[in-house]
Amino acid sequence: MDEKRNAIDETTLENLLYLSRLSPESTDIETLGAQVRQIVDYFEILSRYAGDENPYDAYPTTEVERLRAGDVVKSLEPGDLRKMTAEYMDGYFRVPKVLGGGA
C-alpha cells in the first residue's frame, strides 16, 4: 500500500476528530491515529475487490412494453357500483367490522 497516499498525519487526524465531534481525551492520540490508519487500510483492501460492473445487472430487467399503459380511461360511475353490490351506501362500500371483533 502506498504510505504517502494513506498517510494520516496529525493535522488530518485533528480535522477528522473535529468533524466527527470526538475528543481524544478518553484515548491516547497515537492509539486513535493507529485505529484510523487501520480503517483506511481496510478500505484500501476492499477497494481492490470493487468491480466496475453495474450491480443492477444481477436483477432481471423490466421491459417498458410489458408495463401498463398510462392511458386515462373512464372509471365506474356510482350508479354502476350500486348495481354490482348491495353493500354500497352513500358513496362507500360497507365492510364487516375488523377492529375489536377478535380478528
Task: Tell me the per-residue pLDDT of 50-97, one tens digit each, with 9 for 90 and over.
Answer: 777 776 666 776 666 566 777 888 888 877 878 888 888 787 888 887
- Beta pairing partners, 92: 89
Global model pTM greater than 0.75: no
pLDDT at 64: 61
Model pLDDT for residues 28-48, shown as the tens digit of each residue: 888 888 888 898 889 888 888
Per-domain residue ranges for the chain?
Answer: 10-51
pLDDT at 79: 79
3-state helix, strand, coil in the chain (%, to 5): 45, 5, 50
Q: Answer yes or no: is pLDDT of 1 > 70.
A: no
pLDDT at 3: 52
